[in-house]
Amino acid sequence: MKLADLPQPVFDELCHDEKWRLDIDPGFDSKHEFWMVWRHFLVLPEESSPYYEASEDDLAEFINFEGYNILLPVERSHHPYIRLIRLLKSSDEQSLTLFLHDSFHETWFKDGRGARYGFLAVADRYQKFDCDFFLASYYHFAYLIHDDYQVAKRVMARKKEQ
């Protein structure tokens, strides 16, 4: 599934500020969590900024884990660096909880201790306009502990071997 394949009514609905917002904490050195609207991840700004030139790589894109198409508030340029640590399904399969490892900012991952830096996402099923995917409503920096930390360390070791 690709973002470009979504029908216009889906974009219109997801960009509606009062219907679909997400609680986000970009992590690492961020001091505050905040909410954002999905429009920022789905549509390029109409006017360019003098400080930052936005491109298609700055937009979100679907990522597939265990057969589920999931839209995370993460630029598509991060996707090669994101690894699934654990996925939990709700009993009715209408929500997913994901523990993720995103090593895009490689300076944070120089040794095994860096494996503890992860993300927690909660995504709800979106089933309208003949679409069926999961949309994150929560995306937060999280410390991976216990088994999740061990899995992340193995992920990092494999990445270093490549």
Both tokens of 95, joined, read 């929500």
CA separation for the pair 12, 10 (Å, rounded):
5
Model pLDDT, residue 127: 96
10-residue averages of pLDDT along the chain (162 residues): 91 77 57 66 66 74 96 89 94 96 71 81 94 92 90 83 70
Model pLDDT, residue 32: 53
Model pLDDT, residue 105: 66
For 29-51, give the DSSP string.
T----EEEETHHHHS--SS--SS
CA separation for the pair 77, 56 (Å, rounded):
9
Model pLDDT, residue 146: 93
Q: CA of 132: how far to CAs of 40, 125, 144, 162, in Å?
A: 21, 7, 29, 34
Whole-structure pTM value:
0.84
Model pLDDT, residue 143: 86
Domains of the chain by residue range: 3-44+55-161
